[in-house]
Structure 1
Amino acid sequence: MSIPTSPLDQVMSCAAVGLPALRQLLRPYALEIVLVADHEPLPGSFWGDPEAGLIGDRLFIRSQTPIQSALHEACHYICMDPHRRARLHTDAGGGYDEENAVCYLQVLLAAQLPHVGRERMWQDMDRWGYSFRLGSARRWFEQDAQEVRQWLEEQNLIDAREQPTGQLRQNS
């Protein structure tokens, strides 16, 4: 007899990626990654444990924090304007355009992590419960995100080849 599992039990954890790889990926953004002990609460977590937390320029994770959550919160930090970034504590906020940009950028950053990639990120986003009007993260990314790509380019967060620039959003 098999034990039923939740789709959330199948998402990739930060431990599976490794802290050194995540730190290297986020180094250009000057975002400090703070590893919290498994039995301690995650500071700055909007969704609660085990989801990543943000306070100022610190991203709080545990070994079992989903990598999609860590990247999503990191991308909020990257995509928000400097005024909000300076006051950041738990709730990243942001409007519709920014939230979509965060989702898109997290896929691009996932492609740069060993053992993650776009496919895995799309799967984990779907498992976590993201909802896109085309029914899946992949279909949205490939078929319905032209305005998002344009927004990211205008903010100088990706280049014309859709590669992250390693810069934070500078304008409001």
Structure 2
Amino acid sequence: MFTGPSTPTGNEQRVLTCAQLGHAPLRELLARYDLELVTVAAGEPIPGTWFGEPEAGVIANRIYVRPDTPIHSALHESGHYICMSPERRDGLHTDAGGGYDEENGVCYLQILLADELAGMGRARMWSDMDDWGYTYRLGSARRWFEEDAADARRWLLDEGLIDAHDAPTWRLRTSPD
């Protein structure tokens, strides 16, 4: 179970950023969902950020990042867009909202999407999520994913967002809230 961001851990500077990965791989991945990656200049405000800078922002089908935005944040906000109902997606601006099942699905999906990015992968995503301060009742993103996320996986399967092999289907959620 994901319980949300905690206080900073002091390890935030170790996470992989958009500048380190490069924008092209992220842009290509997000385009598969008709999401547009919008880059913001270093030091400029990030439109649509819910948690504050350097966290990614989301407005409609656009994900806003700066060079210092963590990849985990860009994939998390993208996951919200993918996992939300069409009605919420139509009015999306900053606050993705969503319930418990959706939030857990987003966290699970961002880990799977990390495997689609050369230089990231799920092991790095788990580490970055822990370093950033994501909190799980089992103490780490990896333990949650491997031991406690069956409900999140089931939700993604039921919504048609992943297949039986945990591969993204490259579809957006179509069911209502």
Q: Deviations over 1:103-141 (max 9, x none)?
A: 000000001101100110000100111111111000000
Gaps of 5+ in 1: none
Aligned mate of 1:72, from 64, 76, 79: 76
Q: Which residue pairs with 1:131 in the alignment?
A: 135
The residue identity in structure 1 corresponding to 2:43 is H
Q: How does 1:72-91 map to 2 (within 5 A)?
A: 72-91=76-95
Whole-angstrom distance in 1 between the partners of 2:118 and 2:19: 12
The residue identity in structure 1 corresponding to 2:83 is C
Corresponding residue pairs, total: 168
Q: Which residue pairs with 2:174 in the alignment?
A: 170
Whole-angstrom distance in 1 between the partners of 2:164 and 2:56: 30
Whole-angstrom distance in 1 between the partners of 2:151 and 2:46: 34
TM-score (norm 1): 0.96
Shift of 1:35: 0.2
The residue identity in structure 1 corresponding to 2:93 is H
Whole-angstrom distance in 2 between the partners of 1:147 and 1:96: 10
Aligned mate of 1:121, from 109, 114, 125: 125
Q: Which residue pairs with 2:115 in the alignment?
A: 111
Tell me the secondary structure at the aligned position of residue 37 of structure 2. strand
Whole-angstrom distance in 1 between the partners of 2:70 and 2:88: 25
Whole-angstrom distance in 2 between the partners of 1:133 and 1:122: 14
Gaps of 5+ in 2: 1-8
Shift of 1:48: 1.0
Whole-angstrom distance in 2 between the partners of 1:134 and 1:29: 31
Q: Which residue pairs with 1:97 in the alignment?
A: 101
| Higher RCO (C-alpha 8 Å, min separation 6) | 2
Whole-angstrom distance in 2 between the partners of 1:100 and 1:39: 31
Shift of 1:6: 2.5
Aligned-residue RMSD, C-alpha: 1.0
Q: Deviations over 1:18-72 (max 9, x none)?
A: 1110011111110011000112100000011110000011100001100000000
Which stretches of structure 1, 4 residues or more, deviate above 6 A after TM superposition? Answer: none
Does residue 1:155 correspond to 2:159, yes or no? Answer: yes
Q: How does 1:13-92 map to 2 (within 5 A)?
A: 13-92=17-96
The residue identity in structure 2 corresponding to 1:77 is Y
